[in-house]
Amino acid sequence: MFFFKKIRRKKLRQKPFPELWVGILQRNVPLYSRLSPADQQELRGHIHSFLAEKHFEGCAGLEITDEIRLTIAAQACILLLHRETDYYPALTSILVYPHAYLVHHRERDAMGLVTERIQQRLGESWAYGTVVLSWDDVCAGASDLHDGHNVVFHEFAHQLDIEDGRVADGSVILPRRSMYIAWARILGREYGALQKDVASGHKTVLDRYGATSPAEFFAVATECFFEKSMLLKKRHPELYEELRLFYQQDPASREETCL
């Protein structure tokens, strides 16, 4: 089964990429134009496979267009460059709302007390099957390359997090077994440091939301790695290096060449 899947994906990656689609990437995903020609070609191939395997569904009256599909797929597939990938195997569908959306949230604290409230969300990633996104926030996250906020990177980082078969916990499948000790040590230390900085009110490079759990820390660190790469490398060099080894990309070097 996997053999035939590989053949099918190889054919998909070799399909011509319409010029109209390239224009959409150039307009909506500025990071695309900063990639090398080889990386752009690899990304276009990944997009073909991603679009063939994932189902998009509009919510709250939103009509799914090629622009929506391409803008989301391109950002999701940037996380896959240079790595062996199974294209987010737990994921089958992407639900897209026109704007931030409201959900009914129920939470139980350590004492067993249950609280219920309405939350506004920009996106979420379910353990198996679905990513939910706000189209407005997809566009906003892609348009600013340096604000450290990208809802697609964030939610698809969660999808990478669950590929080891467990719940999202900041533990990912690494290229080599020897990498796990350093990953756990460095990300654990950086997570603890962020929690202390947030508690004391210190300014942080990483978004404060990353202090809420190891899973959110990894997702926030992914956003920062791709969008505040030079600052992350300067202030948190060991964390940057662990992410560089995992993603097999060096966005700080790419950013330096664009200055």
Number of H helices, E strands in the chain: 12, 6
pTM assigned to the model: 0.93
The answer to whether residues 170 and 218 touch, using CB atoms and an 8 Å cutoff, is yes
Domain parsing of the chain, residue ranges: 14-143, 169-259
Express each pLDDT in 99-142 by its tens digit: 999 887 666 666 667 677 788 889 999 878 999 999 999 999 99
Q: Give the C-alpha separation, 134 to 101, whole Å.
A: 7
Q: Give the C-alpha separation, 105 to 27, whole Å.
A: 36
Express each pLDDT in 205-236 by its tens digit: 999 999 999 999 999 999 999 999 999 999 99
Domain spanning 169-259: which CATH class is it, in words? alpha beta
User: Domain 14-143 belongs to what topology?
Assistant: Cyclin A; domain 1 (1.10.472)
Residue 179: Cβ within 10 Å count: 14
Look-up: residue for tokens 């030079």?
Answer: 230
Pairing, β 101-108 against β 114-121:
antiparallel
- Where the chain has pLDDT below 50, the residues are none
- pLDDT given at position 4: 82
- pLDDT given at position 6: 86
- pLDDT given at position 110: 64
Q: Give the C-alpha separation, 100 to 81, whole Å.
A: 29
Q: Give the C-alpha separation, 56 to 250, whole Å.
A: 30
Q: Quick one: 24 exposed, middle or buried, by C-beta within 10 A (0-12, 13-18, 19+)?
A: buried
- pLDDT given at position 90: 92
- The CA–CA distances, whole Å, from 129 to 67, 90, 101, 163 equal 22, 6, 19, 12
- pLDDT given at position 164: 86
